[in-house]
Chains A and B, each alone.
Chain A
Amino acid sequence: MLDKIHQSRQARQVTGEIPIHHRYTLGVAGERFFKALRDRQELLASPCPQCRDRLLPPKLYCERCFVETTEPWEAVEGAGFVRSFTVLHRSLEEEALPRPEVVAMISWPGVRGGLIHRLQEVEPHRVTLGMAVSPVWAPQRVGAMSDILYFRPAQAD
């Protein structure tokens, strides 16, 4: 073999793929979170009686204290803020995005956790850590992450 193989495809091989389909149960906490999202456009947080943190997304238990969260589950109020962000240039299919997309980790004051979502209506180079943002809701909501279309800079009231 004097000629080096440069491409995997030049060697003998077979290909294989498997379509994998699953169901994922939202669970008690997920069901309650997504119903509030769908029906009231609210982001519910569940309080931990031990560390006093309010968890978003809400959970039935606090992973740090290993105790059950308690009532009441209240909606987060006001604008969120950008805890970190990245400007993404590639799709899941490894194709260059025609327009780079800002993906942000968004938190709220007094809340532990937050949501990952896209940030729009702002030029990527204008996004800053700590920037105040609020959700833009889908007109038709089904109780899923897609009920939030994206986040955008919070409007000054």
Chain B
Amino acid sequence: MLGERVAIVGAGYTPLRPISPEVSFREMIFEAAVKAYADAGIRPHDVSTFVSVAEDYNDGTAITDEYVPDQLGAVLKPVQTVSGDGITGLASLVMQLETGQLDLAVIEGHSKASNVVRPAHIQAFALDPIYARPLAFHPNYVAGLEMRAFLAATGNTEAQAALVAALNRASALRNPLAAYPARMTADDVLTSRPEAEPLKRGDIAATADGAIVLVLARESQLARYKLNGRPVFINGIGWGQHTPNIEERDLHRAIYAEQSGRMAYKMAGITNPASQIDFAEVDDTFSYKQLQHLEALGLAETGQAGRLLEQGVFSPGGALPVNVSGGHLGCGYTHEMAGLRSVLEVVLQLRGTAGERQLPGVRVGLAQSWRGIPTTSGAVAVLGRE
């Protein structure tokens, strides 16, 4: 259990777009920050501490955390950059607030993926330099190896993975934030260009640009700041990591998601996730990842995620809606910000402000992140209306 609960009390964001040539990433963060502070009803000088999630190579700047404060209103304030996915950064901020020494805290995530000229080179540079990198393969091979191992071990199928990609892009049609809404069928995905078979072009989330800023407060401080809007509580948060050595991995399993789910569930008092979680935003950077993550999180029995998907259980009207935002496949994959985008959707849903795609009567939502290939790192947040 947490000592004192922490709530998300403000959210600001830019729409996601495939390219954003007229604005710099710092200007996008400024826009998201101004909106977040207005949403929370605070001024940045009320904030005690800031966290940014960013990766030097994706930003194209060494020691990129030096570039964080200006556009956040964080000049001369404590700022920490977490070189990890958004929910891992969120966990770090929650822990800072748990000390009881700080009142208001802000987390920032951004993506200017369209400015990364050779993203595959960055992922390849993350591979083991002695045993793996010298082979100079396109890094998507790691996902190809995983996908085949996952399908073979669980009995989920390529067609079910393709259906994930089609359904998520269709869900994105109801999300004005999404960069890649599309009407397509599983067949369109199955017949798309092969990349790292069984992985095809349609199974892969394309990248998008954008910025998200969230404002957090301790429960005891909520009255003090006359915070606007409905607070959304972080009732559980967890993170996990398996191994950097690809040969050491159980290629079919997402052990980081199993670990982070367990940790977050324990904190939130969740003993039966499939019945206690009302809806989930899980990482779908690659279509099969959504099925793998649902099983790792206990939201589907091993080998059942694909079948439940076909039965409509994870559809907006189903028993456990998943990626009603469109997921990364529909919204666009946004590097370190991706986990925060999932959290944002859960926040909007729990506040009842998700517009056309609003799920009725939801009280508990889960957001899950993965740091992308070639990593085995991820995190989970369980959020609630109370």
Contacts and interface: CB of A to CB of B under 8 A. Distances in A.
Interface residues of B, number: 44
Given A8-B115, A116-B131, A88 B247 contact: no
B140 A88 contact: yes
Contacts of B115: 8
Interface string A113-136: 111111000001000010000000
B222 interface: no
A139 interface: no
B251 A86 contact: no
A84 B196 contact: no
B289 to A, nearest CB: 15
A22 interface: yes
Given A84-B146, A113-B245, A103 B137 contact: yes
B129 A22 contact: yes
Contacts of A92: 120-121, 124, 136-139
Nearest to A59: B245
A13 interface: yes
Contacts of B298: none
B137 to A, nearest CB: 6
The SS class assigned to the A binding surface is mixed
Interface string A1-21: 100010111110101110010
Report the interface size class on chain A.
Answer: 35 or more
A144 B132 CA distance: 11
Contacts of A84: 145-146, 148-149, 152, 251
A10 to B, nearest CB: 7
A32 B21 CA distance: 51
B194 interface: yes
Contacts of A85: 145, 148
B77 interface: no
Nearest to A25: B130
Interface of B: 19, 21-22, 60, 114-115, 117-118, 120-121, 124-125, 129-132, 134-141, 144-149, 152, 193-199, 243, 245-248, 251
Interface of A: 1, 5, 7-11, 13, 15-17, 20, 22, 24, 26, 30, 56-57, 63, 83-94, 100-101, 103-105, 107, 112-118, 124, 129, 144-146
15 contacts: A5-B22, A7-B19, A8-B21, A20-B125, A56-B247, A63-B248, A84-B145, A86-B144, A92-B124, A92-B139, A100-B197, A104-B145, A116-B132, A116-B135, A116-B141
